[in-house]
Chains A and B, each alone.
Chain A
Amino acid sequence: MLRCLFTLVIAVVAGAGCPGGNGRVGDACGGNDDCADVLQCLNRSCVARCKQAPDCGDGYSCDARGLCQPALLEQSDGCHSEVECGPGLTCQLTGATDGAKQLVAKCNLEGPGHPAGFECKDDQDCHAGTCALGHCVNLCRPETRDCAESERCIPVPYPALPNAMFPACLPAGGAITWSIPMNSPAAEILLPFPDGARSAQLVMSVDDPTQKVGAKSVLSPSGERLYRLPCTPSTMPDAGCNAETSQDDYFRNPIRHRPGFGQSVLLIPSGSVTPPQPGMYRVDVSSFRPTDTTGSTIPQVTAVVQLNPDKRMYLDLHFFFLDLTDHPCGGIMDDVTLSASTAENSPVFKNYLAAMRTMFFRSFIIDTITYDDILKEPDLDSLDVANVGALLRLGKFANGINVFFVRSLSPIGIQAFGPNPGPAGVAGTRQSGIVISLDTLCYRDWPVLARITAHEMARYMGLYHNVELEVGQHPTWHDQITDNDFDDPRKNLMFFSESGETGLSRAQSDLLMRSAVLR
């Protein structure tokens, strides 16, 4: 009798769906209690609990217990996140703000465009109706499970109202790259700096290498002018502009930049003195004739934003070796020419890498190393620094830094060369890498070459010479780092001379960690 009663209780409890059901994945269910603890009942079937809303499919959010909750909002209802709107609807910004100056969004029918993550030029390109940082995004609520596991809910600036931000799902780490179209030789473009992003840059180029390209001015999100084109001695002689005052202008700008022939890079921030602000930067981009009057070619602009949060970062180095055969100082050991295969297996080269790892250990880990030979480009075996663009175009890796070993650089005496800053995250441009001259090994050893290489890498990543050669006559000609020890600048890695040492201040290390070359 007692056993029958016990069996009955069990049956009733099971039928009522009390906690502790034993349904397995795929089993039919009437509620969550029919499924094992780690599962949930979704569409009458036991499935794994969700980690993020996208695990549940369209029209659901994922709550803190890992249960998919159906979205209840209907068309035209106010919303904050994509996951609040029912199936077939999407949460879209209306362009209006509420009383608290927050952007208003409403559930709207999904459009025909691309899903989240695909590149876009404007909102109409996107299925969910929102294009940000050149990619279709979904709106989200911070500190929730609204975004996919590989994403974070990050406030980004809204182009139509540049001082307003809205949270959107963006990749949790790494750099995001997109093209910004221009229709004329000069125009203002908007560079969004998401909240929590580490750096933002514009890579500007023109097809005509006789014309320069770059920024004319930069305004911060709060409207402060951070950069003005340095004066040009050749076009403004009456305005008192000479080579020195032009340099003064360059060093006075909180964002350091100078247009360059064929290509230039604008990187935010330029130092620790002016930290970046979340919001929309307004940048006047232009092509220029050599005299700095407006040019005739239309610039191509690529934006790169580094989103990595504060965590350990990694740098990949990609070594390329031109034909170094018979170079009088090119032997990595007795009678062995430096090349991809000999470098990879050489203790000398391993020590060279180890020295660089030590210099940067506070900022990032030098991780993946690749080795390639370039043996069919004899024009590039030795080259003038004015022509390094043809070589750097062969820099095929967007992640990390492309490092080219050449026989010689002209003018002889230049030991290494690279853009400052370089186009981090963009491969195949006339500035995509740095060049090291093997001539240096005729009078300096590998440890010195390691410091020279590290110096050029750091310049590529956005550090500047800590002091300029002329700092004695021009006290403002130094970098924008707040904690540099100017009493003995020689100890710093960024000292311009080969006689410098390898120190990096905390602010310099922080600036390196912002670079989009890192992953």
Chain B
Amino acid sequence: MKRGVIACAVLLCALPAQGDLTTISPAVLDALTQIDTAPSKTTLNSMFPTQDAALANLRMIALDHTNFGVQLRAIRALPAYCPTLPLTCNATVPHDTLLVLVDEYKRSPRSPQDILRARAAIEALGATHTSLPSDVSVLSPLLADPSRDLRATVAHALRNVCSAEAIEPLRARFQIEPIEQVRRVINAALRDLRQCP
């Protein structure tokens, strides 16, 4: 785990630093402010010279708090840059950037925007489908978050991460969860997690 964090830090330091959004082209801004569509990887790649450049810029936007709406879509676009199977997303730029954002939430004042940003990162982390017990460890404590929306997002993300390690914390939360919406998501996750490693 510790080695992973160090690797992550090294990797993130090697990438472009956070910058303000004045450097983002209008086309990229348009892609990340669509009303009813999530930007595809193909579309985003076409806006940069290389796929690596596209990912580096997305990471920068995902960590930048200048334009919240743009940041949300950039966060949510990151899992599309995970390597395809049989490789995993573990210790990649998208995965590690999402871990940074989830960690950031734990230290935030939990404003409405903090909650929504964290939910985008958590949902995206689930979409990396890593099956990593370490991802379960990051997400499970958030099942006790005061926000019912965040708890529902976490339960759904744990289902998508797909590690049997998530069964126990989800069961425990189900025993005390008062909100029916969240209970339903936990129930669905517990049902599907039986198939996971």
Contact = CB atoms under 8 A, between A and B. Distances in A.
B113 A443 contact: yes
Contact of A498 (B33, B116, B152, B180): B33
B149 A496 contact: no
Interface in A414-469: 414-418, 439, 442-444, 452, 455-456, 459, 469
B31 interface: yes
Contacts of A416: 35-36
A415 B116 contact: no
A443 B69 contact: yes
Contacts of A329: 112, 116
A442 B147 CA distance: 14
Nearest to B122: A412
B149 to A, nearest CB: 6
A144 interface: no
Interface in B19-39: 27, 29-31, 33-39
B181 A496 contact: no
Interface in A294-352: 323, 326-329
B35 A439 contact: no
Contacts of A455: 35-36
Contact of A413 (B29, B30, B69, B112): B69
A355 to B, nearest CB: 16
Q: Which applies to chain B's interface (DSSP): helix, strand, loop or mixed?
A: helix
Interface band, chain A = 35 or more
A433 to B, nearest CB: 14
Nearest to B30: A497
Contacts of A480: none
A379 B42 contact: no
Contacts of A418: 36
A243 interface: yes
Contacts of A127: none
B129 interface: no
A216 interface: no
A498 B69 CA distance: 9
A411 interface: yes
B76 interface: yes
A442 B112 contact: yes
B34 A496 contact: yes
B68 interface: yes
Contacts of B120: 412-413
A407 B149 contact: yes
B112 A497 contact: no
Contacts of B27: 469, 472
Interface in B114-160: 115-116, 119-120, 123, 147-149, 152-153
B184 interface: yes
B30 A499 contact: yes
A407 B39 CA distance: 22
A31 to B, nearest CB: 69
Contacts of B43: 469-470
B2 to A, nearest CB: 31
12 contacts: A328-B112, A378-B184, A411-B38, A412-B76, A413-B120, A414-B35, A417-B36, A439-B116, A469-B27, A469-B43, A497-B29, A498-B33
Given A413-B69, A414-B37, 5 more contacts: A329-B112, A379-B184, A407-B149, A416-B36, A496-B30
- The 8 lowest CB-CB distance pairs between A and B, nearest first, are A328-B112, A378-B181, A413-B73, A412-B120, A443-B68, A378-B180, A497-B33, A413-B72
